[in-house]
Each structure stands twice: as structure tokens, then as C-alpha cells.
Chain A
Amino acid sequence: MNLSDFLHSPYFAGLIGGLLIGLAAAMFVLLNGRIAGISGILSGLIQADGGDKLWRILFVLGMAASPFIYQLASDLPAATIDAGTVQLIIAGLMVGLGTSYASGCTSGHGVCGISRGSVRSIAATLSFMLAGFITVYLTRHLLGL
């Protein structure tokens, strides 16, 4: 692959997107002193006791605005969701419960935790990646879902 091919490949898109995610995480920890972990920010929002909610709401609003800002420059990339409704409901419950027990997801453990050199986050990331690999293997290659 030469440079021009790379610049037009999904690898380059992944790298640029990753740099943006890293920039966001850096801005959040250096300015707000906080971890940009999406599951933690969401679960703090649905907590019954008050306080500490405004920045979480604004963070989520920022995320929610991103597809509309992106559309100012270009059409949104295609997205394909193969899972059916029941599968999505089960998956959503598992992601909500699992990230709560693990105190983090792909962003909190995978990006911020590993950036911080946390062995705990590395263990979490290896665990959810392993489970993801096995799940896709089972559903795609053994069960044919």
C-alpha cells in the first residue's frame, strides 16, 4: 500500500477518528480533571440523587450534536445494523449491566484507562475484546445468526 492508498483507506479514517477521540479525552482530563468514559457519564445521569448533572447533560448533548455537525461537511457514513430487535434489547441490557459492574467501557477503560497505564483497565479491555471475539465467532460461524 502506498501513501495515497493509505490516505484513502479505512485505516487512515480510523487513525484520524482515533486522534479526535484522543484529543477529546485529553481536553477533558486536562481541563475538567475527568475521565471521558461514556458509560460512566450516562450512568451518572440516571442516578436518583441530584447535583453534578449539568456537565453530563452537556457532554451527551455534544455527542448528540456530532452527527448534525458532521452532516454540514458530508453525508453520514453508511451504518448497517444486522441485529434484530430482540437481539438488540438483550445486547443493550448486557452492555448496560456489564459496563456498570466493570465501571467502564471502550472509552473509560479502553482509551482513558490504557492511556493512563492502568493494569485494571488493560484487564478489562482484554476481557471485553475476548468476549466480543468469541461472541462473533459463535454467532457468525457456528450459529449462523
Chain B
Amino acid sequence: MLNVNAFLVGLIFGLGLIVSGMTNPAKVIGFLDLAGDWDPSLAFVMGGAISIGAGAFTIAKKRQRSLLGEPMRLSNVTEIDKSLLAGSLVFGIGWGLSGFCPGPAVVSAAAGQTKAMIFVVSMLAGMVLYKVIQQQNNR
């Protein structure tokens, strides 16, 4: 059941990204282009998502276990540190350079777009690089 739901969630999430326009990098860059011909429509994506998410997380926070009996794995990290801020800034630069964030890139790569595939491979390489750096630091 958990695995079936994981598949369904991935599917619905992907459909949401396609319907919303998030899988079009030119549109994402249009949203980030405040000084140009700004396209604010992607703000509605986040608004729509949070309007449902806020209700769900309000319920989730009050529960020890999920409806299927799983432990609630919500982050309890609250510290706003250098790693969070620098990491987010670096992510934002990459997002602005390409118009891709992780979810839409995966959907577009699956749809067969070569450029999205290049981006995804490179993104995964960045994630591997992070793990290598962490292992070096822990030695």
C-alpha cells in the first residue's frame, strides 16, 4: 500500500507539474524575470499547492503515525545555518540559469527531452559530489 501510494503520489505530482506549466523552462524563467515581461502565473502554483498542503500538514503535525501506521517523518531541524542559505542560493542560481528545478527536470527527461536528460544527469552528479565531500569531511 505504501509503495502503491508512492507511485500514485509521484504520478499526481508529475501531472500537477505538467498542468501548471512548471515543465516549461522558458515559463519558469519568465516568472523569475521581474525586470522583463514578468509572468506571475507560477505564483498560483505555489499558492494552490500550499492551500491544500497547509491543511494536510496541520493534521500531520498532530499525529504520531500516518493513516497507514507509518511514523511521521517530519523534519525537526529548525536551525537556519550557512549550509541551508548557501545551498539555497546555489540552487537558485542553477534554477535561474536553466529554468529547471528537480521535479520538472525528471518529468521532462522522462518525456524524452534530451536537454532535460543532460540536466538530470548533471544534477545527480552534483548530489553524488555532495556525498563524496561529506565522506571526505567525516574522515
Contact = CB atoms under 8 A, between A and B. Distances in A.
Contacts of B118: 85, 88-89, 92
Contacts of A99: 87, 91, 102, 127
Contacts of B47: 15, 18
Contacts of B6: 28, 32, 55-56, 58-59, 62
A63 interface: yes
Contacts of B80: 119-120, 123
A1 interface: no
Given A31-B5, A79-B108, A124-B84, A42 B124 contact: yes
Nearest to A115: B53
A101 B85 CA distance: 9
A21 B23 contact: no
A65 B87 contact: no
B102 A38 contact: yes
A18 B11 contact: no
A70 B78 CA distance: 38
Interface of A: 9-36, 38-39, 42-43, 46-48, 54-56, 58-70, 76-83, 85, 87-103, 105-107, 109-120, 123-125, 127-137, 139-141
Interface of B: 1-27, 29, 32-36, 39-57, 59-61, 65-68, 70-75, 77-80, 83-103, 105-108, 110-111, 113, 115-116, 118-131
28 contacts: A14-B20, A16-B20, A18-B44, A28-B6, A28-B9, A29-B74, A33-B73, A36-B13, A43-B131, A55-B2, A55-B3, A63-B110, A66-B110, A67-B110, A69-B11, A69-B15, A70-B15, A85-B115, A92-B120, A93-B94, A93-B122, A98-B93, A99-B91, A100-B131, A111-B46, A120-B78, A127-B85, A136-B34
